Chain A
């Protein structure tokens, strides 16, 4: 039951992504062609609000609802952010969606997206399998 709150945040996240058309293949085309501010406005204002929130949490030492210290682990740099980042970017522009929108589009009534999700699972599994051999 403790997971219900995460389900609710997910519902908010998915509803917003869908209603603002960030899940749309068309919007991704438009973004990578620099033909509208829309997607940049979404990502930019999300980061601003996220950054102010993180700053407030640290500044006022805000705890979780279970009175735990909030800890944000540092992300480690690896060559994966360069190589994997480029591969993901290409897939994002090719299929016209990143992982969040894939789940949202399935819910929005586009069952064909299941093929993209299963392909993404296969891609993740293949990365896991090759992980020891890839440069990091």
Chain B
């Protein structure tokens, strides 16, 4: 059955091109640049602009972007609930053993439940990993002027060299965190 096939994890050569197609779709539907992190700025401008110059602009004219991320949220429901195959993510054996060495032993969902639960969120461990991590995502993407979608996909697709610089530093940051800081941070809580 087609639904059973859709419930299987989608291989990269199916999903990558479908993600790429969103670039021309947004352009043709109204000259819009693919970008997710801008939605965080629009939300700040809508909720708490105060007297901050960077948040003083007509966010209502960027409403399309808020509709787009609402769609991403709904898509998460379609992919993660309606098409859920209830299988663990098929990561490599090396990754599983590396993750276990961090003290994470739950491999059921899309994220480890021994980290992403309410009790942990309100502990020091959750604060360091999820709250500081989230803060760095919001601060860093806005400072860089985009995230994986705006710089890596939209920026590289339109051959913009500042986006290539951004993507290189996204990876430098990610590699530093994964290989240098992550073992130290997790060792505080084990």
* Interface residues in chain A, defined as those with a beta carbon under 8 Å from any beta carbon in chain B: 2-33, 35-39, 41-51, 53-54, 56-57, 62, 64-66, 68, 70-78, 80-100, 102-110, 112-113, 115-129, 131-132, 134
Contact = CB atoms under 8 A, between A and B. Distances in A.
Interface string B98-118: 110000000101111001111
A75 B110 contact: no
11 contacts: A6-B65, A9-B71, A13-B75, A18-B76, A85-B173, A89-B169, A90-B177, A115-B130, A123-B135, A124-B138, A125-B138
Nearest to A79: B143
Contacts, number: 515
9 pairs of A and B residues whose beta carbons are closest in the complex: A10-B71, A14-B75, A89-B173, A108-B80, A84-B143, A123-B138, A88-B140, A49-B20, A18-B79
A32 B110 CA distance: 17
Interface of B: 6, 9-34, 36-37, 39-41, 43-44, 47-48, 52-55, 63-65, 67-81, 83, 89-92, 94-95, 98-99, 107, 109-112, 115-118, 121, 126, 129-149, 151-163, 165-179, 181-182, 185
Contacts of B131: 115-116, 119
| B interface secondary structure, majority | helix
Given A30-B95, A64-B30, A128-B52, A15 B171 contact: no
A112 B139 contact: no
B162 A81 contact: yes
Contacts of B65: 6
Nearest to B173: A89
B158 to A, nearest CB: 5
Nearest to A86: B173
A9 B22 CA distance: 7
A53 B17 CA distance: 11
